[in-house]
Chains A and B, each alone.
Chain A
Amino acid sequence: MASKLTNEAVIERIKGQFGSDILSSETPYDFLTIEVQANKQHEIIEWLKKDEMLKISFLTNLGGVHYPEQAGREFAVVYHLQSMVNNFRLRLKTYVSKENPEVASIVDLYVGANWMERETFDFFGITFKGHPNLVRILNEDSMDYFPMRKEYHLEDATREDKDDRFFGR
């Protein structure tokens, strides 16, 4: 079933409302992806949910990505949103720095975000301001690091018998 909205129409409408808060937009594999300013993401998601034309009112997924090389924007929080009525999907990204990895929680908009934000906190250490119960969810409470960050390697980094160059890595 084809979508009732086109990427161009949606991005035009979002930009018409928020203008310079939308830092960039692209469509990798025909999936509209927008990057927004960190302190604006809550407002934009709220507007998307209420907008009569877009009706992007379903939170599909939420997660973090760690880019240690990008100074000042080390962590991405990625929201996958969806409009079931219009059969349209949107990816919304926002970047935060490692010094202050904090974004606003959207649990007040989507109750289902509760565990997804807890999981993102658990694995990346990104905090969600306004979350009712931001504690670890899958890992043990006494853990003192965030395992999905890139500095934690899966294999023992001190091993010398496994040189990455010999394995094409």
Chain B
Amino acid sequence: MSTWEEEKIHDDGTYESSLDTIDGSIATLNLGPTHPATHGIFQNILKVDGEKILGSEQTIGYIHRAFEKLAERRPYNQITTITDRLNYCSSPINNIGWHMTVEKLIGAEIPKRAQYMRVIIMELARISDHLVCNAVIGVDTGALTGFTYLFQQREKIYDLFEEVCGARLTTNMGRIGGFERDFSPAFNEKLKAFLKDFPKVFNEFDALLSRNRIFMDRTRGAGPISAERALEYSFVGPNLRAAGVDYDVRVMEPYSSYEDFDFEVPVGTTGDTYDRFQVRQEEIRQSLRIIEQALAKMPEGSYKADLPEFYLPPKEEVYNNMEALIYHFKIVMGETPIPAGEVYHCVEGGNGELGFYLISDGGRSPYRLQFRRPCFIYYQAYPEMITGSSISDAVLTLSSMNVIAGELDA
């Protein structure tokens, strides 16, 4: 039994400590808004007795940028840049998720090749997202080495994104209907090199932490949540799977041909920091499996759908071809007729089910667009998960939940 369990909080809120504290008083500690341990701009006001947390209050919204309001003024293709800035650790998943939402609304058929290309890009993004999260868990336990190794690999993934779309972090990748261009030979080469080199580095990282006595002692039992409680809190993604619920949108409602690939959904048991770490580690391996299968089975065909009314034509055609010029003008000026309707589409983002609830009244911009942001929803469980733990465990819990300020505040 820990010392914490011997302590008592009375029904009227007064607190009796069995610890021999200096003067027996309870202190208030501000963790954030800008604190090196929070990896983002959000505040936690902690009530602490020595190292033990008795309760906490969260303040969020420091980087709120009114995305849902902005979306009501922008044409559909310009909303992609907004989605970049939600979970900026895996922007391409957000971009492609948004494109697929619009494609659902207009009823577009996407060629198999474009779907497989999307799968490759989305799985690369998932790897880079999970790498950041797990590397930072390492940093917060005091193991900086893995972080520096893995960030080199993340750079490689960003190099791949750069080959596809020219950008690295806020990618604005692809278009409604597919991609801007096919994968270049340089991309294919870099991807092959990545698939060859990355597993070695990743296994080294895994060997540093996974069965490391110090790391395990530090992370096991830190910030646990039960499956029932996680479901009550509408948890999704790796955090829910770590609690033992095998729910993955890629399996339950396959999009972009995920049903063609063979992969496993890892689950944990206790929902603590160690389980969240392990679930993400295994998901990285499964993502690699998916990428390899997609590369091997890559179908012939076009990298884009035939959607002249929504897909910006190539520049050289705009200058030399009347129809292309008309379509270019219509798309840019927002003259494209868009059906009125209501769709909900979700993809498995880095943090779980990322949903887009889109209401169109037929106008040039959405009537209403709501993002289901997994971070925003599950971060509210944080006080419950850290009450009773120490401050250092609270920092670990925060990084293992992978709370991204951009997604939290929209």
Contact = CB atoms under 8 A, between A and B. Distances in A.
Nearest to A119: B376
Contacts of A114: 380
Interface in A117-169: 119, 123, 137-140, 147-148, 154-155, 167-169
Contact of B251 (A1, A91, A119, A147): A1
Most B CB within 10 A of own CB, among A66, A113, A116, A138: A138
Contact of B410 (A61, A138, A155): A138
A1 B253 contact: yes
A23 interface: no
Nearest to B105: A29
Interface of A: 1, 28-29, 31, 33, 57-61, 63, 65-66, 78, 80, 84, 87, 89, 91, 110-116, 119, 123, 137-140, 147-148, 154-155, 167-169
A28 B341 contact: yes
Given A28-B342, A115-B376, A154-B73, A58 B231 contact: yes
Contacts, number: 100
B289 interface: no
Contacts of A58: 231, 234
Interface residues of B, number: 48
Contacts of B359: 65
Contacts of B372: 60-61, 80
B337 to A, nearest CB: 11
B355 A60 contact: yes
B1 interface: no
B180 interface: no
Interface in B236-279: 245, 247, 251-254
14 contacts: A29-B343, A60-B353, A63-B357, A80-B344, A111-B380, A112-B232, A119-B376, A148-B69, A154-B72, A167-B333, A167-B334, A168-B335, A169-B363, A169-B364
B370 to A, nearest CB: 5
A94 to B, nearest CB: 15
B314 to A, nearest CB: 23
B252 A1 contact: yes
B292 interface: no
Interface stretch (B59-67, B87-95, B297-305, B391-399): B59-67
Contacts of B105: 29
B234 A110 contact: yes
Contacts of B252: 1, 84, 87
A55 B364 CA distance: 39
Given A60-B234, A110-B232, A168-B333, A123 B364 contact: no
Contact of A147 (B69, B231, B377): B69
B129 interface: no
Contacts of B333: 167-168
B151 interface: no
A59 B234 contact: yes
Interface in B321-339: 333-335
Nearest to A111: B232
Given A60-B372, A87-B253, A28 B68 contact: no
B245 A61 contact: no
B368 A65 contact: yes
A147 B72 CA distance: 12
A140 B61 CA distance: 8
